Amino acid sequence: MEQQKIINKTIDFVKETLQDTESGHDWWHTYRVWKLSKHIAKTENADNFIVELGALLHDIADSKFHDKNENIGPKKAEEFLKTLNLDSNIIEQIKNIISNISFRTRNETTFKSVELDIIQDADRLDALGAIGIARAFNFGGHKNNTIYNPYIKPNTNMTKEEYKMRDKPTINHFYEKLLLLKDLMNTKGGQKIAEQRHAFMEQYLTEFYNEWEGKS
């Protein structure tokens, strides 16, 4: 099967699989990560086919299972890709991308690939900028968190348990996670986009505090 046809079939499969997913990791998140991965790949020496398939399949597992069973994503992707008779070497690469995208920074794995670097950057970049701000307030609203509380200070040294409780004002999430992401980029292209989106968020925060105090 030609590559474009495989990509189209993968798009259909991902759309269908993610149809009931919460909005933070729905098809449109995958769509943005896919588009941005292709963009970043232009200035990297990467296999574009792997980049596209990896990006499309990176969040294929139901997020309910994400923390509990990290094998579900790679397994789902493998089962699907096998129906397209893809080369086992390609399937292996995609599985490695899916299982390593979220905990690579913790040095828990030795798997490395430029395609993974690109997709991981694109995935993190979707938490930054205008989209990132929208996702953060959407998440906070879903948890019934306040948007901001000047008495509750951000805490960047949270334990895993504290982080999971997530009962903090949404603005704190900017300091606890979003503004730290620009220093975690793998690729030059990702770094550049992160800096732009970071600057936009800082500008947003300045405006936010001004409005909070009735200054503008």
Give the residues lining the site for Ni ion (CB under 5 A).
59, 123
Of 73 and 189, which has the nearer Cβ to ligand ADP? Answer: 73
Under the criterion CB under 6 A, does residue 58 sit at the interface with ligand ADP?
Answer: no
Interface residue with ligand ADP, options 46, 57, 98, 136 (CB under 6 A): 136
Under the criterion CB under 6 A, does residue 127 sit at the interface with ligand ADP?
Answer: yes
Of 59 and 115, which has the nearer Cβ to Ni ion? Answer: 59
Per-residue HEC secondary structure of the chain comes to CCHHHHHHHHHHHHHHHCCCCCHHHCHHHHHHHHHHHHHHHCCCCCCHHHHHHHHHHCCCCCHHHHCCCCCHHHHHHHHHHHHCCCCHHHHHHHHHHHHHCCCHHHCCCCCCCHHHHHHHHHHHHCCCHHHHHHHHHHHHHHCCCCCCCCCCCCCCCCCHHHHHHCCCCHHHHHHHCHHHHHHHCCCHHHHHHHHHHHHHHHHHHHHHHHHHCCCC
Interacting residues with ligand ADP between 167 and 186 (CB under 6 A):
170, 173, 178
Smallest gap from residue 148 Cβ to ligand ADP (A): 12
Interface residue with ligand ADP, options 54, 132, 189, 190 (CB under 6 A): 132
- Burial environment of residue 64 by CB neighbours within 10 A (0 to 12, 13 to 18, 19 or more): exposed
Interacting residues with ligand ADP between 16 and 35 (CB under 6 A):
24
Smallest gap from residue 82 Cβ to ligand ADP (A): 26
Interface residue with ligand ADP, options 135, 182, 197, 198 (CB under 6 A): 135
Give how far the C-alpha of residue 84 lies from the chain's centroid of Cα atoms, to the nearest Å. Answer: 26
Interaction mask 85-114, ligand ADP, x per CB under 6 A: -----------------x------------
CB atoms within 10 A of CB 36: 22
Smallest gap from residue 188 Cβ to Ni ion (A): 21
Under the criterion CB under 6 A, does residue 118 sit at the interface with ligand ADP?
Answer: no
Under the criterion CB under 6 A, does residue 139 sit at the interface with ligand ADP?
Answer: yes
**Interacting residues toward ligand ADP by CB under 6 A:** 24, 102, 127, 132, 135-136, 139-140, 166, 170, 173, 178
